[in-house]
């Protein structure tokens, strides 16, 4: 089963990376669910009662949308449930080893990305030809025309010439995945910084992701502080505070945040404006401005997967950048509460496995990622969200030695 467990996590990351049409295809998602379902049955893995309760709740919620709007988007609602089920089934099959396999795979992709990133800077046209060999010679795999190519292990994006996208669809998405691996690495090593940690941090910095750097500098250090002896905590707080202020004052983080706030309503002019663009991407704060326009109409449970029930541009589609804003619009206040509570339960279960404190901080890390990225309904993150469903026991010593 060990080889299959590695493959299961690899497939979960591949779909979560959204780097090419195969990763995005519905058929890939369905086949992945069928494979995990077969393995669940073959291994006689018990499905937690909590998941049956969630399934019943999801059906009731879908019926509520039907009675409220007079219709439901059957495929979108089913597709979301398939994503959730696939993520949970993968978790049930892999269980605690999700930490180890996830970290190892992301470290591998990070190590691959670093030399390719250097080539991207000095020889972009040649690397683009090489990376695009498969995509450019199989028309059915062509994705985002000629400005974007992916070969399953690396992505080149002409909109991010000086940023490392790794195998993900963009640098921000890669940074999110690397961040989670950094936390898993710290938990595994009990905060002893090893070679993998440095590879992950260097990779994260090459993404030049505002969110990634913000979380690494301002949130991850609190996990350190929480788990060091009390006598060292004041010194650690002072050191991390100076580092954080230094990074913030450098403009790497502050300029992007300030610009996002100032331009929060910039793209909303396209609600009624004439344009030839098929879609307009909103900023993080702009996504919330749009979400709060619709929230008073459906404050408790939102509009679900019925996208036509919420405000959109007359001549173009307004794309939510913030996953939290999109989730608030879709599932309302009750949905957000469910999201935060389940991520806290799962973070608590994760940290208890390693006898480490910091569940609240980890919840903030997840919410910060979702604030900046619309990956909140990815099977990969459903795997983390529903981690609390599996048994909450300390890791066996044998598993620790395998890492």
What is the percent of the chain where pLDDT is above 70? Answer: 90
Q: For residues 96 and 9, is the Cβ–Cβ distance under 8 A?
A: no
Residue range 326-344: mean pLDDT, rounded: 96
What is residue 153's predicted lDDT score, i.e. its pLDDT? 94
What is residue 197's predicted lDDT score, i.e. its pLDDT? 96
pLDDT digits 0-9 by tens, 368-393? 999 988 889 999 999 999 999 986 54
What is residue 345's predicted lDDT score, i.e. its pLDDT? 96
In angstroms, the CA 323 to CA 373 distance is: 5
274 confidence band (pLDDT: 50, 70, 90): confident
HEC letters along the chain = CHHHHHHHHHHHHHHHHCCCHHHHCHHHHHHHHHHHHHHHHHCCCCCCHHHHHHHHHHHHHHHHHHHHHCCCCHHHHHHHHHHHHHHHHHHHHHHHHHHHHHHHHHHHHHHHHHHHHHHHHHCHHHHHHHHCHHHHHCHHHCCCHHHEEECCCCEEEHHHCCCCCCCCCCHHHHHHHHHHHHHHHHHHHCCCCCHHHHHHHHHHHHHCCHHHHHHHHHHHHHHHHHCCCHHHHHHHHHHHHHHHHHHHHCCCCHHHHHHHHHCCCHHHHHHCCCCCCCEEECCHHHHHHHHHHHHHHCCCCCCCCCHHHCCCCCCCEEECCCHHHHHHHHHHHHHHHHHHHHHHHHHHHHHHHCCCCCHHHHHHHHHHHHHHCCCCCCHHHHHHHCHHHCCCCCCCHHHHHHC
402 confidence band (pLDDT: 50, 70, 90): very low
What is residue 400's predicted lDDT score, i.e. its pLDDT? 41
For residue 164, pLDDT beyond 90: yes
What is residue 327's predicted lDDT score, i.e. its pLDDT? 95
Residues paired with 235 in a beta bridge: none
For residue 143, pLDDT beyond 60: yes
What is residue 1's predicted lDDT score, i.e. its pLDDT? 57
Residue range 108-128: mean pLDDT, rounded: 96
Residues paired with 318 in a beta bridge: 280
In angstroms, the CA 313 to CA 307 distance is: 12
What is residue 398's predicted lDDT score, i.e. its pLDDT? 39
pLDDT digits 0-9 by tens, 221-243? 888 777 776 555 666 666 667 66
For residue 403, pLDDT beyond 80: no
In angstroms, the CA 90 to CA 99 distance is: 13
What is residue 81's predicted lDDT score, i.e. its pLDDT? 97
pLDDT digits 0-9 by tens, 278-308? 788 888 888 998 999 899 999 999 999 999 9
Across the chain, mean pLDDT equals 88
For residue 173, pLDDT beyond 80: yes
What is residue 235's predicted lDDT score, i.e. its pLDDT? 62
For residue 399, pLDDT beyond 70: no
Residue range 151-171: mean pLDDT, rounded: 93
């Amino acid at each position: 089963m060990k080889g299959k467990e590695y493959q299961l996590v690899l497939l979960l990351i591949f779909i979560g990376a959204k780097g090419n049409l195969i990763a995005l295809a519905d058929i890939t998602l369905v086949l992945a669910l069928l494979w995990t379902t077969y393995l669940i049955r073959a291994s006689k893995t018990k499905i937690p009662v909590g998941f049956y309760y969630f399934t019943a709740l999801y059906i009731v919620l879908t019926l509520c949308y039907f009675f409220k709007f007079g219709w439901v988007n059957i495929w979108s609602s089913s597709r979301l449930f398939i994503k959730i089920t696939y993520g949970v089934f993968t978790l049930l099959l892999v269980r605690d080893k999700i930490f180890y396999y996830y970290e190892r795979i992301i470290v591998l992709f990070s190590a691959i990305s670093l030399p390719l990133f250097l080539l991207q800077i000095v020889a972009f046209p040649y690397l683009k030809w090489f990376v695009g060999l498969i995509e450019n010679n199989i028309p059915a795999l062509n994705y985002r025309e000629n400005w974007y190519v992916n070969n399953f292990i690396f992505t080149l994006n002409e909109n991010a010439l000086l940023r490392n996208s790794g195998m993900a669809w963009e640098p921000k998405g890669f940074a999110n995945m690397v961040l989670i691996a950094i936390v898993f690495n710290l938990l595994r090593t009990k905060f002893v910084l090893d070679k993998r940690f440095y590879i992950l941090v260097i990779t994260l910095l090459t993404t030049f992701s505002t969110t990634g750097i913000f979380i690494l500098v301002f949130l991850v250090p609190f996990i350190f502080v929480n788990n060091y002896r009390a006598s060292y905590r004041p010194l650690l707080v002072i050191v991390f505070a100076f580092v954080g202020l230094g990074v913030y004052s450098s403009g790497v983080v502050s300029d992007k945040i300030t610009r996002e706030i100032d331009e929060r309503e910039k793209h909303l002019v396209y609600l009624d404006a004439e344009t030839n663009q098929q879609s307009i991407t909103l900023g993080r704060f702009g996504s919330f401005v749009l979400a709060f326009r619709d929230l008073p109409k459906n404050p408790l449970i939102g509009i679900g997967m019925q996208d036509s029930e919420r405000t959109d541009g007359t001549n173009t589609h307004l794309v939510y950048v913030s996953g939290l804003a999109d989730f608030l619009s879709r599932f309302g206040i009750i949905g957000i509460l469910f999201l935060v509570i389940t991520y806290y339960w799962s973070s608590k279960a994760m940290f208890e496995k390693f006898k480490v404190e910091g569940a609240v901080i980890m919840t903030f890390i997840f919410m910060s990622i979702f604030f900046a990225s619309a990956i909140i309904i990815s099977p990969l993150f459903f795997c983390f969200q529903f981690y609390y469903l599996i048994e909450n026991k300390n890791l066996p010593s044998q598993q620790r030695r395998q890492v």
